Amino acid sequence: MKRVINYSAGPAGIPVEVLEQARDEMLDWNGTGCSVMEVSHRGKDYDALHMGTMDLFRELAGLGPDYNVLFCTGGASTQFLMLPMNYLGAGKEADYVVTGNWSQAAVKEAKRYGKITHPADMHLGDGMFVAIPKQGELKLNPAAEYVHYTSNNTVEGTEWHYVPDVKGKPLVCDMSSDIFSRPVDFKKFSMIYAGAQKNLGPSGVTVVAVKDDFLQKAHDDLPTMMSYKVFKEKFSMHNTPPCFSIYILNLVMKWLKKNGGLEAMGKINEQKQKLLYSAIDGSAGYFKGTANVDSRSWMNVDFKLPTPELDAKFVSDAKAAGIIQTKGYRTMGGIRLSCYNAVSLKDVETTVQFMQDFKAKNPA
């Protein structure tokens, strides 16, 4: 058996130790004589796992009990509608910073529920985004119920390197593709959410952390499965939760904690991105980064080779060398290396060597 170096943008790689533990426990989890998929979600074994996973999330994020951890389904995409459904309505407004494909998708849903304004819209036309706005460029709407932004733009390879100051408005962030990749002051947010399948585990569960005071402002009269208040009151067990995804989320967070938490992960991720961007910048223009240098993402490293033919050859030669899923998003072309937490520093070192060899063998 051979594990590949996996640059998938999502669902992404999962740490090998986590997969091994899941394998070992597949037939007999926690002494139950069955897998975690086969026990009642109302039983004590699952309940301890479920509640423990919420606690572990708060612990890693440095959040207190005033934050409610919710396990939702339908991906981050369902948060695009659940959030405005819970807070907007006739006459209500919200601020959405537009920095990429996913923030545009969030706006599309929010518009169904209220008037949406943009503190900044970084769209350059033709689906192109290369930059994150600076604090001074943000024009906040005083009537907004909340301000929403996307901390890492998975498609375009840009990332916020600061938490914006939104002058006391509730701050909401889609952290799907950089959550727990480095320390962040999570207490600055009224709500964050993330589909698990990039940095936290498998698809199927979306983690939402929402502060009490903001949660209290959510509407009451909503369809049950769309109500943040119901998720809180029922501890995300009004219906059957995605038990297996939550179990893997738990194991991934234990792995994170064992390896030094967000602090340690941040140091590794910083080194990873430095190695990759140095390889790009040191290639005399052979590899060209697509994002503005000051907005570059640590998680999704996007670049182009001199021709689309060389991009395609890079993808296929990389695959032959055991480095997979390097192709850029369909609207972007080029190469995207998604270096989430499960991609090791050694994986990146191997990749940089591959890039240098490729350049030597395939002159422009």
* Residue keyed to tokens 């223009």: 285
**151 vs 250, which CB is nearer to ligand PLP?**
151
Q: How are strands ordered across the β-sheet holding 300-304?
A: 288-289, 300-304, 335-338
- Tokens coding 98: 């537009």
Cα-to-chain-centroid distance, residue 281: 26
Which residue's CB is nearer to ligand PLP, number 174 or number 302? 174
* Phi, psi angle pair for 19, to nearest 5°: -65, -40
- C-beta closer to ligand PLP: residue 53 or 206: 206
Helix (H) or strand (E) holding 311: helix 308-320
Nearer to ligand PLP, 145 or 159 (CB): 159
**Which pair of tokens denotes residue 222?**
């909503």
Q: In terms of CB distance, is 177 or 181 closer to ligand PLP?
A: 177
Smallest Cα–Cα separation from 175: which of 140, 143, 139, 209? 209
Q: Helix crossing, 308-320 with 345-361: angle to 10°?
A: 130
Min. distance of Cβ 154 from ligand PLP in angstroms? 3
What percent helix, strand, coil does the chain show, rounded to 5? 40, 15, 45
Nearest distance, CB of residue 109 and ligand PLP, angstroms? 11
Residue nearest to ligand PLP (CB): 75
- Judged by beta carbon, residue 201 or residue 310, the one nearer ligand PLP is 201
CB 225, min distance to ligand PLP, A: 16
Q: How far is CA 270 from CA 197, 252, 297, 341, in A?
A: 21, 20, 10, 11
CB of 236 to ligand PLP, least distance (A): 16
Please give the structure tokens belonging to residue 119.
């503190």
At closest approach, how far in Å is the CB of 155 from ligand PLP?
8
Cis peptide before 11 (omega within 30 of 0): yes
The footprint of ligand PLP (CB under 6 A) covers 10, 75-77, 102, 150, 154, 174, 176-177, 195, 198
**Residues forming the active site:** 102, 174, 198
Tokens at residue 242, please?
Answer: 């995605």
Q: Are 2 and 11 in contact (CB under 8 A)?
A: no
Distance between CA atoms of 235 and 135, rounded to whole angstroms?
36
In the complex, what is the shortest distance from the CB of residue 341 to ligand PLP, in angstroms, rounded to a whole number?
14
Determine contact, residues 154/102, Cβ cutoff 8 Å: yes
